[in-house]
Structure 1
Amino acid sequence: MAEPFLIGEAMTGGYGGADILHGCTIAVEPGEIAVIVGPNGAGKSTAMKAVFGMLSLRAGAVRLKGEDITALTPQARVAKGMAFVPQTSNIFTTMTVEENLEMGAFLRRDDIRGTMDQVYTLFPILKEKRNQAAGELSGGQRQQVAVGRALMTQPSVLMLDEPTAGVSPIVMDELFDRIIEVARSGISILMVEQNARQALEIADKGYVLVQGGNRFTGTGQALLADPDVRKSFLGG
Structure 2
Amino acid sequence: MADPYLIGDAMTGGYGGADILHDCTISVERGEIAVIVGPNGAGKSTAMKAVFGMLQLRKGMVRLDGTDITGLSPQARVRAGMGFVPQTGNIFPGMTVEENLEMGAFIRDDDISDTREQVFDLFPILRDKRAQAAGELSGGQRQQVAVGRALMTKPKVLMLDEPTAGVSPIVMDELFDRIIEVARTGIPILMVEQNARQALEIADKGFVMVQGRNRYTDTGKALLADPEVRKSFLGG
Establish whether TM, by shorter chain, passes 0.5: yes
Which residue pairs with 2:102 in the alignment?
102
Residue 144 (structure 2) aligns with: 144
Matching residue of 1:179: 179
1:38-90 deviation digits (Å, cap 9, x = unpaired): 00000000000000000100000000011000000000000000011000010
State the aligned residue count: 236
Which residue is equivalent to 1:132? 132
- For 1:122 and 1:3, the matched residues in 2 are separated by 30
User: Which residue of 2 is the match for residue 60 of structure 1?
Assistant: 60
Deviations 1:72-118 (A, max 9, x none): 00000000000110000100000000000000000100000000000
* Residues 118-137 of structure 1 deviation map (CA, whole Å, 9 limit, x = unaligned): 00000000000000000000
Which residue does 2:164 correspond to in 1?
164
- State the match for 1:48 in structure 2: 48
Give the letter for the 2:211 counterpart: Q
Confirm or deny that 1:72 pairs with 2:72. Answer: yes
Aligned to 1:21: 21
List structure 1 segments (4+ residues) > 6 angstroms apart after TM superposition: none
- CA separation in 1, counterparts of 2:164 and 2:3? 30
Q: What secondary structure sits across from 1:98 in the alignment?
A: helix
Partner Cα distance (2:141, 2:226) in 1: 34
Measured after TM superposition, the shift of residue 2 of structure 1 is 1.5
| Percent identity for Structure 1 against Structure 2 | 83
Partner residue in 2 for 1:230: 230
State the Cα deviation string for residues 205-236 of structure 1 (Å, max 9, x = none). Answer: 00000000000000000000000000000000
* Paired AA for residue 124 in structure 1: P
Structure 1 portions without partners, runs of 5+: none
Tell me the secondary structure at the aligned position of residue 155 of structure 1: coil
Counterpart for residue 84 of structure 1? 84
Instruction: Write the distance in 1 (CA, Å) between the matches of 2:143 and 2:65.
Output: 28
Listed as ranges, the gaps of 5+ residues in structure 2 are none
Residue in structure 1 matched with residue 199 of structure 2 by the alignment: 199
Distance 1:99 1:31 in 2: 29
String of CA shifts for 1:174-215, please: whole Å, max 9, x gaps. 000000000000001000000000000000000000000000
2:35 is paired with a residue of what secondary structure? strand
Following superposition, the deviation at residue 16 of structure 1 comes to 1.4
Structure 1 match to 2:153? 153
SS at match of 2:155: coil
Aligned positions of 1:113-124 closer than 5 A: 113-124=113-124
TM-score of the superposed pair, with normalisation by structure 2: 1.00
Instruction: Supply the AA of the counterpart residue of 1:160.
Output: L
Rounded to whole Å, the distance in 2 between the matches of 1:17 and 1:221 is: 37
Equivalent position SS for 1:131: coil
The Cα shift of 1:17 comes to 2.4
Counterpart Cα distance in 2 of 1:192 and 1:153: 21
Query: How far apart in 2 are the matches of 1:30 and 1:81?
Result: 13
Match of 1:32 in 2: 32
